[in-house]
Amino acid sequence: MQSSSESPLLILASASPRRRDLLAQAGLSFSVIPASFDENSVSLLQCPERYVKTLAEGKAGDLSEKYPDHWIIGADTVVVIGDNILGKPGSKEEARSMLRRLSGQTHQVFTGYCICCKSTHRKFSEAVTTDVIFKRVTEKEIEWYIHTHEPFDKAGAYAIQGLGMFLVKRINGSYTNVVGLPVCEVIEFLIKEGVLSLPMPLPLPDTGQGQGRGQDAGAGKAGRGQGLHPIFDGGVNL
C-alpha cells in the first residue's frame, strides 16, 4: 500500500484505551487526540440513543474545528437498564449498587459514534444497541470484583473484555459495541468514503513440501497481509 500525502488522516477523539485497542486490532493507522468537549453540557433527560449521538457529535465536532482536513471519530457509551442510564461509578458504593441492579437482568449498551471531515463536508452519526444478559451475581463476587478496581472507569461498572467477562451470560448484538465502539459499522463507513482500502491478498508461496503443509504456512502469511489498510501510511504526530 502506497502512502498518499494528500489523503486525510484519521483521529480518534477519545482517551479510551479500549477504543484505541479496537481500532488498532482492526489494523487501522490513526492518532489519538482526546476531545475537550464538555459532556456535562448534554442533558441526560433525553433518550439514550439521542444522548450518546449528541455526545459523539460534540466530541468529533470539537476536533474537526481544529483539524478540518482529518477524519475524526467521536464516540460515547452508556449502559441502560429500565429507564436509568448508568455511567461510570464514582465510588465503591455506586459500583456495588450498579452491579446489584444488573445482576440476573438484561440491560442495553448504547454506543453513539460520529465520523466527520469538515473540509469534505461529510458527517455521519448513529447509535448502536446491544442487549447484555448478566448472570446472577453473588455479594461475594461483587465485593471481589470491586476490589480489582476494574469497575471504576467503565460505564455500568463492568468491562466485558476484562475480568468482568465472568458476569456476562450472553449478548445479542455487537460485542465491540459493548467494549466501546461498533467496529463493523465504523469500518463500513470508512471503506464507503474511501478512507480505508482493501489490499489484494498475498499469493500462497510454493514451498514444495506437500499440499497440506504448504497451505498452512501460506495461510498464516496471507492473513497478515489481508488486514484493512488506510489509504495513508502511518500515524501523524500532532
Give the residue extent of every domain in the chain: 10-230
C-alpha span between 218 and 222 (Å, rounded) = 6
C-alpha span between 117 and 154 (Å, rounded) = 29
Predicted model pTM: 0.80
What are the DSSP E strand ranges found in 91-227?
106-117, 122-134, 168-172, 196-197
Query: Where in the sequence numbering do the catalytic residues fall?
Result: 76
In the predicted model, is pLDDT for residue 80 greater than 50? Answer: yes
C-alpha span between 207 and 218 (Å, rounded) = 9
What integer is the mean pLDDT of 61-67? 94
Helix (H, G, I), strand (E, B) or coil at 235: coil
Read off the amino acid at residue 117: C
pLDDT of residue 38: 82
Provide the CATH number for the domain formed by 10-230 in this structure.
Answer: 3.90.950.10
Q: How confident is the model at residue 46 (pLDDT cuts 50, 70, 90)?
A: confident
Q: How confident is the model at residue 198 (pLDDT cuts 50, 70, 90)?
A: confident
Average pLDDT along the chain = 85
Return left, alpha or beta for 63; rule: phi > 0 is left, psi -120 to 50 is alpha, else beta.
Answer: alpha
In the predicted model, is pLDDT for residue 234 greater than 90? Answer: no
